[in-house]
Structure 1
Amino acid sequence: MESGLERVREGVHHRSPLMKGKTYKFSVVCVGTGSVRVVIDDRDPRPVSCDGVPATRRVESAPERLPVDITAEAGATGMVAWQVVSVPPRS
């Protein structure tokens, strides 16, 4: 498991070390005003509102290092927290 907390204006630019090929859940929550842009594994950017509601995404067949980039949209302020946790294999 990995996690972090940053100011929205500073953003998050992190490379999480993972076990290649495993499945993970990525969660992000932003509290403040405006929204942030979340890019995981250098693809599929998604906006997340800074309304305190968590957004999650499943990361299947993870790479050895998972690029996580969270940047503020125009006028966004507040704090952004993120977390990556492993998902147990299905039985």
Structure 2
Amino acid sequence: MTDGIHTEPTLSKGKTYLLALTCFGTGSARMAFTPADTGTDTTVPCDQSVVRQRITVHKPLRLDVDGTTGSTGVIAWQIGSI
């Protein structure tokens, strides 16, 4: 997971979205938002579990997901409007 996910999705201000993220492999990944008040920083286990989180957009956001030390595998994500 050397690349991770680093994205600034184009989302509408004031709307609420649902982020779904999964990791398949070993170890875990760390999900973080900028600005921090957009969502909660979360550890995602790489056991095929799906982590879902509501996010409300107040200003442009950045989503960063990086593998923790020694983690291997792939990460998939999707953002949909609610």
Fold shared by both chains (TM-score > 0.5) = yes
Structure 2 unaligned blocks of 5 or more: none
Runs of 4+ in 1 over 3 A off after TM superposition: none
SS across alignment from 1:10: coil
Q: Hey, what's the Cα distance between the residues in 2 that align with 1:52 and 1:79?
A: 10
Structure 1 unaligned blocks of 5 or more: 1-7
Amino acid at match of 2:43: P
Larger Rg belongs to = 1
After superposition, the C-alpha distances for 1:55-83 in whole angstroms (9 at most, x for unaligned) are 000012x1353211001101000000111
After superposition, the C-alpha distances for 1:1-34 in whole angstroms (9 at most, x for unaligned) are xxxxxxx221011000101000100110000000
Q: TM-score, normalised by structure 1?
A: 0.80
Q: CA RMSD in A?
A: 1.2
Q: TM-score, normalised by structure 2?
A: 0.88
Q: Percent identity?
A: 34
